[in-house]
Structures are given as C-alpha cells and as structure tokens.
C-alpha cells in the first residue's frame, strides 16, 4: 500500500485492495491463534466521532489494543472541535500526540482537511461521501467465503445511492467486478462517482450499472447488499423515505431472483422490516455478522500498512 492516508477507496489500486485481503486473511488466522503482531506497541490511535457508531468505534479500539497500542475516543461534542476549533488546527495538534487519526464525519472535506494538515496517517471511518473501511471488510468477507473477486462476480446493491454505494462503485472500478445498483429515481449514486469508476473499469474490466429496477439488479447476483434508507444526518427524511423505498426491500422474493448460493450482506446497523426482512437477515444466505467482525481484521491490516508509510509524513 503506497498511500499515506485512507480517505477513500480511490487512494488504493486494485492490486493494493487485493493485497489487503490477502494480508487480512493471514492476520485473522494469527489473531485466532492469539498471535497478534505488536505493530502498534506504544502507539496511539485518535478516533474522532461527529456521528454515533458501534462497529467502527469498537473494531478500531479493539484492533489498536490487539496490535499493542491504545485508542482515544474523541466525540466532537466533548472536544474543542465541537466549539469551533478548526479541522486543520485539530489535525496539527492531534498529530503531536497520536500516531494515527481515524475520523467519522459529516462532510467529506473534513477528512480531506485532516489528511492535508495531519503529519500522521488519517483513516476515513465514514463520511457522507464514502466508507472505505466498510467496503474493504465487505470484499474481504466475500473473499474469505471462497468467492473469486473478478469479472464473473455480480454484486447487486439495492437501496439508497449513498456513501456505501460510492465506495462499492470505486472498488468495482479498481478491482474489476460487476456492480449493479438499484435505487429509486432521484436516489441514485452520484454521477461523477460512476463516471470516475467507469474510467477505471476500462483497465480493470469492471462493469458498473445503475438502474431503478431492483429485480433486474438482483437477477443472477452473487451478492445482494443493502443499507439503511436514511443515513445518519437524514433522520428527518426517514418516514418519507420508507414509503419511497419499500419496493427496494431485500426480502425473500427479491433474494430468490439472485443465485441460490448468493451472499446477503448489510453494513449494519439494520432497520429490520425496512431495507431488510428478519427472514433474510437471519436466513441461510446472510453473512452480515461475519461481515461486521471483519471490520476488525481488515482495519488492523490498514493500520499496520499505513504505519509503515508514516515516517515519510513527518519529514
């Protein structure tokens, strides 16, 4: 991995993404044997949260601890960031104390500014635009289930064209698989993201499709993926969105359009009975809790790799 920060899947090449999956497989096996490399011994991870989290917080904090380091949780409500200290100044200050900064923010420009002004690696733990750690964990989960991530893999994303969708689209373009997103009209992923990934697809052989037809998208899919219909920050739109998105619910009928052995995935938290039914989430095709666990393993790989490049940031 050559990048100094993980702000987006854009920071990685297709080969680097695949390398993260290979490294994570080894690291997970070592972790299960209680043999975690101590790559963060004496190191501190700062975790800025402008929004709530269960998985991201716990997986990063646990990961830092398992690698011999420690983590500090910084809610923006309880820090000077919440009182208007600028992101550049916060980045400069945290870099004097900590060895990695992970941040969950609203505007993606906050991640970009952290990366610009920090002298330590910055990791995007979700912005309104993207969620790269999640999609690396998702790809690792597919890979660990023995599926080949190539042109023959069809991933169908059903629901809101959001931060998760954008990271999937970038990943498809880089690695080279088929990605189809189905969203209601007006809720499609950003056009510029699709266009950028289609440029990458010329090299990787990826196929990226955007449709409004969930059944067409699910047809013959190897992976059916969904996410909440109202992301953090869109709570007020929830009720209106439920009405618009109901035809996009991942239920047994929709899953039966996909391959029989398709993998059902969700980044979580799920809104059971909305974007996914209990029957599907608890059914035989669902791998959502393996997917959640893999946030831990993949992020440990990311932290180890970024720390290798960290020296050049300070000079």
**Among 38, 54, 150, 152, which residue interacts with ligand CP (rule: CB under 6 A)?**
54
- Residue 54 binds which entry of ligand NVA, ligand CP, none, CB below 5-8 Å type-dependent: ligand CP
Is the dihedral angle over the CA atoms 23, 203, 213, 227 positive or is it negative? positive
Task: Examine the residue annotation and report whether 134 is marked as an active-site residue of this protein.
Answer: yes
- Number of chain positions touching ligand CP (CB under 6 A): 9
- Contact between 24 and ligand NVA per CB under 6 A: no
Outline where the chain has alpha helix (H).
14-32, 55-66, 87-97, 108-117, 132-144, 163-175, 191-204, 214-218, 238-245, 252-255, 278-281, 288-309, 311-314
Q: Long-range contacts for 185-193 (Cβ within 8 Å, ≥24 apart)?
A: 185/212, 187/160, 187/161, 187/244, 187/245, 188/161, 188/212, 189/161, 189/162, 189/165, 190/161, 190/166, 193/166, 193/169
Least Å distance between CB 70 and ligand CP? 19
**Among 44, 207, 268, 310, which residue interacts with ligand CP (rule: CB under 6 A)?**
268
Query: For ligand CP, what does the binding mask look like between residues 130 and 159, x meaning CB under 6 A?
Result: ----x-------------------------
- Contact between 75 and ligand CP per CB under 6 A: no
**Among 3, 7, 23, 56, which residue interacts with ligand CP (rule: CB under 6 A)?**
56
Which tokens belong to 195? 């266009």
- Residue 164 binds which entry of ligand CP, ligand NVA, none, CB below 5-8 Å type-dependent: ligand NVA
Least Å distance between CB 213 and ligand NVA? 22
Contact between residue 275 and residue 226 where contact means Cβ atoms under 8 Å apart: yes
CA angle 186, 172, 193 (to 5 degrees): 40
Task: Examine the residue annotation and report whether 227 is marked as an active-site residue of this protein.
Answer: yes
Task: Examine the residue annotation and report whether 239 is marked as an active-site residue of this protein.
Answer: no
3-state secondary structure labels for all residues of 84-116? CCCHHHHHHHHHHHCCEEEEECCCHHHHHHHHH
Kindly tell me which of 9 and 164 has the beta carbon lying closer to ligand NVA. 164
- Contact between 294 and ligand NVA per CB under 6 A: no
Task: Examine the residue annotation and report whether 314 is marked as an active-site residue of this protein.
Answer: no
Kindly tell me which of 276 and 307 has the beta carbon lying closer to ligand NVA. 276
**Among 6, 101, 126, 194, which residue interacts with ligand CP (rule: CB under 6 A)?**
126
Binding site for ligand CP (CB under 6 A): 53-56, 126, 134, 267-269
């Amino acid at each position: 991995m050559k990048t100094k920060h993980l702000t987006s899947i854009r920071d990685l090449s297709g080969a680097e993404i695949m390398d993260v999956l290979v490294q994570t497989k080894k690291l997970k096996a070592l972790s299960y044997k209680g043999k975690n490399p101590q790559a963060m011994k004496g190191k501190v991870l700062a975790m800025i949260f402008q929004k709530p989290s269960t998985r991201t917080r716990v997986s990063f904090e646990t990961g830092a601890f398992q690698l011999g380091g420690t983590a500090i949780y910084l809610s923006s409500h309880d820090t000077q960031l919440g009182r208007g200290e600028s992101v550049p100044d916060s980045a400069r200050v945290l870099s004097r104390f900590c060895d990695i900064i992970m941040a969950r923010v609203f505007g993606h420009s906050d991640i970009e500014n952290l990366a610009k002004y920090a002298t330590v690696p910055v990791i995007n733990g979700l912005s309104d635009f993207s969620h790269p750690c999640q999609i690396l964990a998702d790809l690792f989960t597919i890979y660990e289930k023995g599926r080949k991530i190539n042109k023959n893999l069809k991933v169908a994303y059903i629901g809101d064209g959001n931060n998760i969708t954008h990271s999937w689209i970038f990943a498809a373009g880089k690695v080279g698989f088929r990605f189809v997103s189905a969203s209601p009209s007006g809720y499609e992923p950003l056009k510029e993201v699709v266009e950028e990934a289609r440029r990458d697809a010329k090299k990787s052989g990826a196929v990226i499709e955007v449709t409004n037809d969930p059944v067409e998208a699910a047809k013959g899919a190897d992976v059916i993926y969904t996410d909440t219909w109202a992301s953090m920050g869109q709570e007020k739109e929830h009720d209106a969105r439920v009405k618009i998105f109901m035809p996009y619910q991942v239920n047994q009928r929709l899953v039966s359009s996909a391959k029989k052995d398709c993998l059902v995935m969700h980044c979580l938290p799920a809104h059971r009975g909305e974007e996914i039914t209990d029957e599907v989430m608890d059914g035989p095709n669902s791998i959502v809790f393996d997917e959640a666990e893999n946030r831990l393993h993949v992020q440990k790989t990311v932290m180890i790799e970024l720390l290798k490049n960290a020296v050049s940031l300070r000079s």
